[in-house]
Chains A and B, each alone.
Chain A
Amino acid sequence: SAVISQKPSRDICQRGTSLTIQCQVDSQVTMMFWYRQQPGQSLTLIATANQGSEATYESGFVIDKFPISRPNLTFSTLTVSNMSPEDSSIYLCSVSGGGTGGYTFGSGTRLTVV
């Protein structure tokens, strides 16, 4: 299965600023997924990122707030823009395992907005 390197692992940010989270995969994958896990909650899908096209956002998430880049088949970034304390969460990227059918998750970015 794929291995994902996600950075940063954690950050504390001032409200109104932006943070960019990076995910690097050790193999080429068609789709990458970005999730948010708010404290004590389950994982919620933010968007699906395909290389060469705009990301597809889930209801409640917009591109202006969570812009995503997918410049190639092994890399993606998620930016959390104009942050507020409500954005304090763990953000995770994920890829599907192709033929194996499984999913691999990055180690997550724990974001605290103060």
Chain B
Amino acid sequence: AQSVSQHNHHVILSEAASLELGCNYSYGGTVNLFWYVQYPGQHLQLLLKYFSGDPLVKGIKGFEAEFIKSKFSFNLRKPSVQWSDTAEYFCAVSSNSGYALNFGKGTSLLVTP
């Protein structure tokens, strides 16, 4: 069955630390990959997406993600986190453009001053 796994459920980092959140998927064929962020009390916001081409994708707010096809992974990274990055992060996958997104369970990130 198609699935999306986020291995880190809760992450606590100090400001300026580096961040890497794991995302693995189980899908056959071509996939479209996304990372969304949800700040406390706010709506989902797209951080970045990958459809094809360069597997290293840069998004907003200094985030980037790398698609590694052989590992079925799409990990999110940021070299230096800020307190304002405290939020819930969701990895999502669709099997084809236009089809529904399948979300991982999310990773709660807390950045301490």
Contact = CB atoms under 8 A, between A and B. Distances in A.
B101 A102 contact: no
Most buried by A among B32, B94, B98, B106: B98
Q: Which 3 A-B pairs have the closest CB atoms?
A: A96-B98, A43-B103, A42-B106
Interface residues of B, number: 20
Contacts of B97: 96, 98, 101
Interface of B: 32, 34, 43-44, 46, 49, 51, 90, 92, 94, 97-106
Given A42-B103, A96-B98, 16 more contacts: A31-B98, A31-B100, A42-B90, A43-B44, A43-B103, A44-B103, A45-B100, A48-B99, A48-B100, A94-B100, A94-B101, A98-B98, A101-B49, A103-B94, A105-B44, A108-B43
A43 B90 contact: yes
Interface of A: 30-31, 33, 41-45, 48, 92, 94, 96, 98, 101-103, 105, 107-108
Determine chain A's interface SS by DSSP, over half rule: strand
22 contacts: A30-B98, A31-B98, A42-B103, A42-B104, A42-B105, A42-B106, A43-B90, A43-B101, A43-B103, A45-B101, A92-B44, A94-B101, A96-B97, A96-B98, A96-B99, A101-B49, A102-B46, A102-B49, A103-B46, A103-B101, A107-B43, A108-B43
Nearest to B101: A103
A110 to B, nearest CB: 10
B100 A33 contact: yes
Contacts of B102: 45
A101 B43 contact: no
A70 to B, nearest CB: 14
A92 B99 CA distance: 16
B23 to A, nearest CB: 12
A48 B19 CA distance: 34
Most buried by A among B44, B49, B106: B44
